[in-house]
Amino acid sequence: MPCASARSAVMCRCLRALSSAASDRAAVDRKPDANVVLPPEGQWVEAAEYGMLVAGARTTQVAALLVIGLMCALLYRYVPVWQLMLWATAALAASALRHEFGRRFAKLESQSIEAQLDFARRFSWVWWLYGAAWVGSALLLLERLPPRLEAVCWMLVAGVCGSAVLWMSAHLKTARSFLYATIVCLVASIVLHHLFDWHAVHSEGSFWFSGLLLVFLLMMLPVASKQHRMFSSRIDLSYQNARLIYSLRLQASALQEALKFKDRFLAAAAHDLKQPVNALGIYAEWLMKEPELSPELSPKIFRATTAVNALFDSMFDFVKLDAGQVKVELQQVDVQRLLADLEAQFHPMASERKLFLRIRPSPVQALRTDPAILQRILGNLLTNALRYTRQGGVLLAVRREPQAVRFEVWDTGVGIPPEELSRIFGEFYKVESAGTEEGFGLGLAIVQRLTSLLGYSVSVRSRLHRGSVFSVRVPLAESGVSGGTLTPIAR
């Protein structure tokens, strides 16, 4: 049986290996991605157990080779050379296989945990073979050596098996496989010896030596379980630390993205507010010097002020949405009046740009919704349509469907390239081919978030250089269909 100091040394090496393996697995991704997550705890723990097992095997490799050499030296005078060479070859081959297993497993540490576990499970037979090779030496020891020499050899075998169980207990299934293999092979060796060597004079010492080894191996089964529980507590703690580290990295990454977002927001705000504010300063200076220019400058001042107000509206809308301060207040809304208000609001902007703005009469008299939010949604869509249209105009129409009312904003503008359609609802995104610097690029992002807040959906169809159509679909309850008045489903 191995001494306490040897056991402690193996334990220390295994725990250092655990620390190293855990730190490697904790860094699942040095730059966390929202789509990357820690593997399931069971898989992570088992991979860590195999990592500890491989580390323990690596540290005891030289000692196992030295014991093989020492056994050969002690048995050389008492065992036929061919039998001794056969056992030594089997033991060296088993040691080489365990070394190769560890080397190949170490290479897989940079790959997925599933790949590591698949490899370790497919080659679990290595540990059976390793146990069988060592206990197979019983065929060489039984009734062939002087009692003292035989006792030394049995102690060497017991030491190798005991130390192996200590580092294998990191993965309990492997430790048990090793022990079962050694127990079965020891019993088989004793039976074979008595069957084929029955003319030999059986010494009482050989019987007791082999019997004590068998008892020792049986006692190692609960020892392995107890040792595994200690390793498991360390591994579980390591996994929780890995989860905490991963979570902190994700939070740090999110914070960095938030800081970048704030920088982009401030840069966009400064850029887009600079032009109309500068224009206001210039117009004010002109009025101070030449008051008679008031009729000419007043419309320009109004347009610059309107542009500043629109930019601030976008900023405030976005900030309120982020803070969750937008409250939905459903009420009965006169659809025709809502369309008339939008026409009055955007007709000056269309006239200034020499574009037509047409509002088709609604086939729906009223619906239940939040009027302020719906007007903000349609207003952002109309602003975008007029902003990106050079000639022609914009049409706002309302279509009645069996289960919904659809608001559509058509334009004859520059259109959107197909590859950019999936990105237009992103924050600060502007279509590069549009050739305009107006706005923050928040209008469509606000539209999408406001429609989601109401439980509606927004979609877009576009043809480059031909125009676009944005649709907001308001779902309706069947019970609300009567007298031309539709009521949307409460969300």
- Cα of first residue to Cα of last residue in the chain, in angstroms, is 72
- The percentage of residues in the chain with a pLDDT greater than 90, rounded to a whole number, is 8
Confidence class for position 206, pLDDT limits 50, 70, 90: low
Q: Which residues contact 374 (CB under 8 A, 6 or more apart)?
A: 333, 338, 454
Residue 11 has pLDDT above 50, yes or no: no
- Tell me the average pLDDT across 34-50: 72
Other CB atoms within 10 A of residue 161 CB: 24
- Tell me the average pLDDT across 124-128: 88
- Cα separation of 179 and 41, whole Å? 27
Give the residues across from 468 on adjacent strands: 462
- Tell me the average pLDDT across 251-262: 74
- Tell me the average pLDDT across 118-125: 89
Residue 238 has pLDDT above 50, yes or no: yes
Residue 265 has pLDDT above 70, yes or no: no
Residues constituting the chain: 491
Q: Is 393 helix (H, G, I), strand (E, B) or coil?
A: strand
- Highest average pLDDT, of 26-35, 234-243, 387-396, comes from 387-396
**Predicted local confidence at residue 487, as pLDDT:** 40
State the average pLDDT for the chain.
76
Q: Of residues 87 and 318, which shows the higher confidence score?
A: 87
- Tell me the average pLDDT across 382-403: 88
Confidence class for position 395, pLDDT limits 50, 70, 90: very high
- Cα separation of 107 and 84, whole Å? 35
Whole-structure pTM value:
0.47
CATH topology of domain 331-480: Heat Shock Protein 90 (3.30.565)
Q: Is 458 helix (H, G, I), strand (E, B) or coil?
A: strand
- Cα separation of 15 and 9, whole Å? 10
Confidence class for position 310, pLDDT limits 50, 70, 90: low
**Predicted local confidence at residue 248, as pLDDT:** 83
Residue-wise pLDDT for 456-470, tens only, equals 989 999 888 888 999
**Predicted local confidence at residue 20, as pLDDT:** 40
Q: Is 485 helix (H, G, I), strand (E, B) or coil?
A: strand
User: Which residue, among 397, 395, 410, has the nearest Cα to 364 in the 3D structure?
Assistant: 397
Identify the residue whose tokens are 């029955």.
Answer: 198
The domain spans of the chain are 4-254, 261-323, 331-480
**Predicted local confidence at residue 484, as pLDDT:** 42
CA 121 vs CA 105, 112, 229, 406: distances in Å = 11, 15, 21, 58
Confidence class for position 270, pLDDT limits 50, 70, 90: low
**Predicted local confidence at residue 408, as pLDDT:** 93
Residue 163 has pLDDT above 50, yes or no: yes
Q: Is 333 helix (H, G, I), strand (E, B) or coil?
A: strand
**Predicted local confidence at residue 29, as pLDDT:** 37
Confidence class for position 264, pLDDT limits 50, 70, 90: low
Residue 455 has pLDDT above 70, yes or no: yes
Q: In what order do the strands lie in the sheet with 467-475?
A: 356-359, 393-401, 404-411, 467-475, 457-463
Alpha helices by DSSP H, listed for 353-484, are: 371-387, 443-454
**Predicted local confidence at residue 27, as pLDDT:** 40
- Cα separation of 181 and 171, whole Å? 16
CB 453 within 8 A of CB 323: no
- Cα separation of 172 and 449, whole Å? 53
Q: Is 107 helix (H, G, I), strand (E, B) or coil?
A: helix
Stretch among 40-49, 313-322, 395-404, 424-433 having the lowest mean pLDDT: 313-322
| Ramachandran assignment for 389, one of left (phi > 0), alpha (psi -120 to 50 degrees), beta (any other) | beta
Q: Which sign does the torsion angle of CA 384, 386, 392, 393 carry?
A: positive
CB 141 within 8 A of CB 84: no
Complete DSSP assignment for 341-387: HHHHHHHHHHHHTT-EEEEPPPS--EEEE-HHHHHHHHHHHHHHHHH
Residue 390 has pLDDT above 80, yes or no: yes
Residue 244 has pLDDT above 50, yes or no: yes
Q: Of residues 282 and 141, which shows the higher confidence score?
A: 141
**Predicted local confidence at residue 86, as pLDDT:** 92
Residue 437 has pLDDT above 60, yes or no: no
Confidence class for position 96, pLDDT limits 50, 70, 90: very high
Identify the residue whose tokens are 């390239």.
Answer: 417
- Tell me the average pLDDT across 399-409: 89
